[in-house]
């Protein structure tokens, strides 16, 4: 079987998945949640939402180091706290299937599931497929995807080598 090509594979640092679920009426719940995090300069490197007639579901990731602060902020707002749950110990695995078809999404998801890797959430865009997975199993996830897909020449899965922090805000950057 010929391998499909991907341009890259990126692994995040350890994160915590924060899920928000509420039946209607929603009344600005998602904006309150995002505003709370933004007001404390807490980055969300992943956010996927669904707003339907039945209610809202959102999944966002924050750095594991910010979990205690996020819980304190959310617990202080009863309108939010009863609709939030947490899954610590997750990470983001992002594939860059530049100019690939929807088939790439199905192949990558099937590969992860077949390897018995739990997918907590996922998102796609024109240039990336991002999976929220168990952080302790990220290396296995990268390995099974490398067996299924051909990476661009001179490329291996990469992790941010350092993180720059300002207040509660952090950004990954290239190494010197």
Tens of pLDDT, residues 75-97: 999 888 999 999 999 999 999 88
**pLDDT tens, residue by residue, 35-71:** 999 999 999 999 999 877 778 889 999 999 999 999 9
Domains and CATH numbers, the chain: 4-13+90-173 (3.30.70.260), 15-88 (3.30.70.260)
Torsion of CA 62, 67, 72, 73, to 10 degrees: -10
94 DSSP β-pair partners: 10, 130
More confident residue, 169 or 90: 90
pLDDT of residue 53: 76
Closest residue by Cα to residue 61 from 73, 76, 49: 49
In the predicted model, is pLDDT for residue 25 greater than 80? Answer: no
Predicted structure pTM score: 0.84
């Amino acid at each position: 079987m010929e391998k499909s090509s991907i341009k890259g594979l990126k692994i995040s640092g350890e994160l915590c998945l924060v899920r928000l679920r509420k039946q209607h009426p929603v009344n600005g719940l998602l904006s309150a949640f995002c505003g709370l995090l933004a007001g404390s300069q807490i980055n969300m490197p992943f956010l996927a939402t669904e707003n339907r007639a039945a209610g809202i579901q959102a999944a966002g990731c924050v750095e594991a180091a910010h979990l205690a602060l996020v819980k304190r902020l959310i617990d202080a707002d009863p309108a939010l706290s009863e609709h939030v749950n947490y899954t610590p110990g997750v990470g983001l695995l992002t594939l860059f299937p530049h100019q690939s078809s929807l088939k790439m999404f199905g192949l990558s998801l099937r590969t992860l599931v077949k390897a018995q890797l739990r997918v907590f959430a996922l998102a796609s865009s024109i240039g990336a497929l991002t999976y929220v997975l168990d952080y302790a199993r990220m290396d296995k996830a990268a390995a099974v995807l490398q067996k299924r897909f051909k990476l661009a020449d001179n490329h291996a899965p990469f992790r941010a080598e350092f993180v720059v922090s300002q207040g509660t805000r952090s950004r990954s950057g290239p190494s010197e």
